[in-house]
Amino acid sequence: MEDSDGEDVKETPELPQEVIYILSFLHASDRKEASLVCHSWYTASQDLRFQKNVTFSFPASASSLELVRGLSRKSRCSLKISQLDGFSISRSLLLEVGMCLGSKVESLALPGSSVTEASLLALLPRLTSLRRLDLRGLDSLFMSGAFLSREEHRRQVRSALSGLKELDLSDLRYLSDLTFNRLTGCTPHLCRLSLAGCHIAFEFDPYQGCPVGAVEDSSALLSLRNLRRLLTEQRSTLVGLDISRTSITPESLRTVAQVTPNPFPFKLTDYSVEILVKHQPSLLKLDISGCTELTSRSVEAAARSLKSLTHLSLSRDWRITEKGLADLLSVSSLASLDLSECPHISGTEMVKGLKGSKAGRRNVEMLNLKSCTYVRVIFSLTQLLGDSLRELDLTSCVNVTDLSVCAIATYLQNLVILRLGWCKEITDWGLLGMVQKNQSEPDDETVSTSPRFTRTFGNMGFFKPPRMPFEERPKMVTQNDLQQFKQKAGASLLALKRLQELDLSACAKLTDSSITQVVRHPELQRLSLSMLPEITDASLASVGRHCRSLTSLALSQCPGVTDRSVAQAVPYLHRLQHLHLSCCNNITDRSLFLLMQHCQRLKTVDVSRCKNISMTAVDLLQSQLPFLENVHHRLIGGADVTLSD
């Protein structure tokens, strides 16, 4: 939400200016704690000067009526009301919203609802300041085809929605030309329109070539011709169109691309992408993920035509290769690049592109290389990306080593999100920044990784057998090593002072030696240490003391974690909302009692397959925590999973 007007400011109590100034810097969760001091502090924490882009989400229930009345004191608000139906409670709630809030509502969403036409038509004319309307999935409105059929209703709604900027009609099964034209006729100044997942007839013309206006609009389907008509009429204001998941054909895309600024189709070919970027050279964001027919030809077309591109997603486009990435990384405006699950990417061309564009080097803020198993140039990439990068995902990049981690800690010190899950070559030495100087990156082409031949044939073969994973245990970190680490500052994870999310799951070679020393980030909010068999209570206790801002913590399949460390950690984790402890067999009911006492904000708890957790404790947990939404407790208490007749 925007800043409040003078009327709201007057509600702020007479508190010292120093207190008001400090409150302006606090996180919403901290202001919530401050509001518990007294009534004056509570009112001050609700001051709209501290609230921007706030959406109030609540279900259709009798208790929500009082909430709506309380919101009437605000100058403007955004609402997300769920579970609306045709019963009296829903009708009363919508009536209360119209009466108490009316011109103050800027955004309205009705997810998971079956609202009736009469209820919505009674509300919409009152929402004269509405800027965003979300009707996704509301099939109940359009099933009969009578929505906005009366001219009187259309006139009232048109008067209220004349300033509407965003309209979301995604996943509407019964949307037709008739109902679509009635609704969009009431919104003459649309900027963004979403039709994702709607049934649009791209290859069938129900009008058989008749000119627009010569025949009545179809009440059975939404046609491409009708969509093109809307885009032509509102092309002066429309800047975004979402038609993903509509199975648009290349020829239809060409038709749409000629009139609309930002179409986002789902199933595409290289030809489709070439047509799109040719007609829309000013595109800023392009998401063509999951389009398995695309090749590097699409990448080359985007790099050649989209000189203002800022965000590009190629996730799961498994035919994409290195070709074209050098030109793409040379685009100076590119800030976000998603190449996750593109198995043919090695990163070599990316390095060339970054070297050829100093501007591009400064602007890239997000890079996702998840499951790109051939990437071997992490060291070079980190040097070139430098301080601009904020988010890096290297999940399942099997060639990430300790030296890679040291490079990340040295060159990417402004990182906010770092994901290294399933990078199984990472050891304590990498996190501590104590890599031996003779260690090299796997991208060193001079190092041969092929089997070495021997002079004898004693192994019944011509080469020595490869070392098995269980034979490649890293050298253990000793107390002397830790003393050296404390005395000499190195390129450890401690250098990433702005880190808010860290994923080290399934890095099985990590132990307490590194976790207790380097996972000490005061601003860290999300941490995953799942599937680390070597960590013990010492790690969890250290995390609790040093990472007190955590909202999500994953410790699944960590057999060394017990009630003892939970008791030491949770008193510091008052902000915790999501906790995952599945398959931790040393966790008992005592841990759940501690969570009830210290972690009142928990929303999700996973204790599935914990054999020492009882159903009684789970039921008590659900009754005691006010915000708890999901408790995963499958196969607790030592349940037998053996299938029997």
Indicate the domain borders of the chain.
502-644
Q: Which of 335-349, 436-450, 550-564 has the lowest mean pLDDT?
A: 436-450
**What does DSSP assign to residue 593?**
H
Please answer whether residues 584 and 553 qualify as being in contact, where contact means their C-beta atoms are separated by less than 8 angstroms: no
pLDDT at 213: 55
- Give the three-state DSSP class for 194: strand
pLDDT at 62: 87
pLDDT at 26: 76
Q: Which of 200-204, 326-330, 488-492 has the lowest mean pLDDT?
A: 488-492
pLDDT at 363: 83
If you average pLDDT over every residue of the chain, what do you get?
83
Give dist(CA 55, CA 74) in Å, integer: 12
Assess whether pLDDT exceeds 70 at residue 76: yes
pTM of the model: 0.70
Please answer whether residues 121 and 141 qualify as being in contact, where contact means their C-beta atoms are separated by less than 8 angstroms: no
- Which residue did the predictor score with more confidence, 603 or 491? 603
pLDDT tier for residue 300 given thresholds of 50, 70 and 90: very high
What is the number of H-type helices and E-type strands within the chain?
Answer: 26, 21
pLDDT at 441: 52
Assess whether pLDDT exceeds 70 at residue 460: no
Please state the rounded mean pLDDT for residues 511-535. 95
The helix, strand and coil proportions of the chain, stated in percent and rounded to the nearest 5, come to 35, 10, 55
Of the chain, the percentage scoring pLDDT greater than 90 comes to 49
pLDDT at 481: 62
pLDDT for 99-158, tens place per residue?
999 889 999 999 888 888 889 999 999 999 999 999 999 998 888 888 999 999 999 999
pLDDT for 45-59, tens place per residue?
766 566 666 788 888
pLDDT at 353: 87
Q: Which of 16-30, 342-356, 436-450 has the lowest mean pLDDT?
A: 436-450
**What does DSSP assign to residue 37?**
S
Please state the rounded mean pLDDT for residues 221-238. 85
Give, in words, the CATH class of 502-644: alpha beta
- Name, in order, each residue with C-beta under 8 angstroms of 461's C-beta and a sequence gap of 6 or more: none
b vs e for 534-562, b when ≥16 Cβ sit within 10 Å of the residue's Cβ? bbbbbbbbbbbeebbbbbbbbbbbbebbb
The CA angle 315-197-118, to the nearest 5 degrees, is 145
pLDDT tier for residue 259 given thresholds of 50, 70 and 90: low
Please state the rounded mean pLDDT for residues 534-560. 96
Structure tokens at 260: 């609309």
pLDDT at 12: 43
pLDDT for 13-33, tens place per residue?
466 777 777 777 777 667 777
- Name, in order, each residue with C-beta under 8 angstroms of 447's C-beta and a sequence gap of 6 or more: 440
pLDDT at 226: 84
Assess whether pLDDT exceeds 60 at residue 637: yes
pLDDT for 381-427, tens place per residue?
998 998 899 999 999 999 999 999 999 999 999 999 999 999 999 99
- Which residue did the predictor score with more confidence, 448 or 595? 595
Structure tokens at 136: 């996704």
Q: Which of 25-34, 201-210, 614-623 has the lowest mean pLDDT?
A: 201-210
Q: Are strands 240-242 and 391-393 parallel, antiparallel or unpaired?
A: unpaired
- Name, in order, each residue with C-beta under 8 angstroms of 342's C-beta and a sequence gap of 6 or more: 314, 315, 316, 317, 318, 320, 372
End-to-end Cα distance, the chain: 59
- Which residue did the predictor score with more confidence, 164 or 218? 164
Assess whether pLDDT exceeds 80 at residue 359: no
pLDDT at 205: 67
pLDDT at 265: 41
